[in-house]
Structure 1
Amino acid sequence: MTDPLSKRRLKMWIRLLGVTRAAEGGLREYLRVTHDTTLPRFDVMAALWRRRDGVTMSELSRMLLVSNGNATTVVDRLEKDGLVKRSPSATDRRTVYVALTEEGGRVFEVWAAGHEAELSRIFEHVDEADLDALTAILKRMGREKE
């Protein structure tokens, strides 16, 4: 017997993807136009902001769910721009740590404030009750992984 909610769940998934893609597109455009940067650069800097002591390139790749090569390409550009720095490990010469520079931290704070404001604008039609309900639903949905 087929689950009677199966088709509705499929439609919900498609709607969820559509909302996510539209919001991501809006953020990409905002970052490009307002800060002359990309969402991958923002994501790398956000990860480094959360781990201010620095992370290995492998840790960074895992945090961002991207390949080492993709992370390296973004870090190369950020390093060239003076926003991140690489440091060799004192104990393993194959390991390199990456962290925000002081300038990178200042730049990220500006980007992050704008990013938050832009997301608030994108979702301005979602009120407090909607946020509470949606957050509770998404938390329940996320339990499937546990």
Structure 2
Amino acid sequence: MLEGKQPDEKQDFASSDDGALAVRRLKLWIRMLGVTRLVENQLREFLRVGHDTTLPRFDVMATLHRRRDGLSMTELSRTLLISNGNATAVVDRLVRDGLVRRIHSDTDRRRVTVILTPEGVTQFEALAVRHRATIDRLFAQLDDEDLDMMRDVLRRLRGDLTGESGG
């Protein structure tokens, strides 16, 4: 048995100032998760019902649209914070649909770059306009001041979590 005073199991961890702050942080996390899930669910529904696509497909196409020169599968999965297997499955379907193509390196057989096809660019750009309008509708109650404050707080939190400054 350990010597010294054992913590009282019945003690409310929120009884101290640090505990109260910890509870507030936990409640904020739960609220952030809840809002994120609500927004994601509405986006998933918008994409599925209105456009016969999925959020992962949209995310891959958006990432490739930003990087017109293409990305390796590793870069793509790292950028999207998904596994290589998940990235491969989404890219396979996009290739099958003619929206993405794989370019094999002439110098390294293992290196494959993924890019949007012209049809993929056209389809993504049309969908991106409607996606932006949906996001605008979902966040319409936030004014410039709200957006700036939330952006700054999330940027600071991300920097703390990743060890990066800014973001």
TM-score, normalization: structure 1? 0.94
What's the CA shift for 1:2? Answer: 5.6
57-66 vs 98-107, which moves further: 57-66
Q: 2:159 aligns with which of 132, 143, 146?
A: 143
**Unpaired stretches in structure 2, ≥5 consecutive residues:** 1-15
Identity value in percent: 59
- SS state at 1:5 partner: helix
16-25 vs 124-133, which moves further: 124-133
- Structure 2 match to 1:122: 138
Q: Establish whether residue 36 from structure 1 lines up as the match of residue 52 from structure 2.
A: yes
Q: Structure 2: how far apart are the matches of 1:52 and 1:143?
A: 27
* Runs of 4+ in structure 1 over 2 Å off: none
Question: RMSD over aligned Cα, in angstroms?
Answer: 1.2
**Unpaired stretches in structure 1, ≥5 consecutive residues:** none
Q: Establish whether residue 20 from structure 1 lines up as the match of residue 14 from structure 2.
A: no
Aligned AA for 2:96?
A: K
Q: Establish whether residue 99 from structure 1 lines up as the match of residue 115 from structure 2.
A: yes
Matched residues, number: 146
Which gives a bigger RCO, structure 1 or 2 (Cα 8 Å, sep 6+)? 1
- SS state at 1:7 partner: helix
TM-score, normalization: structure 2? 0.83
Q: Structure 2: how far apart are the matches of 1:61 and 1:37?
A: 19
Bigger proportion of residues as helix: 1
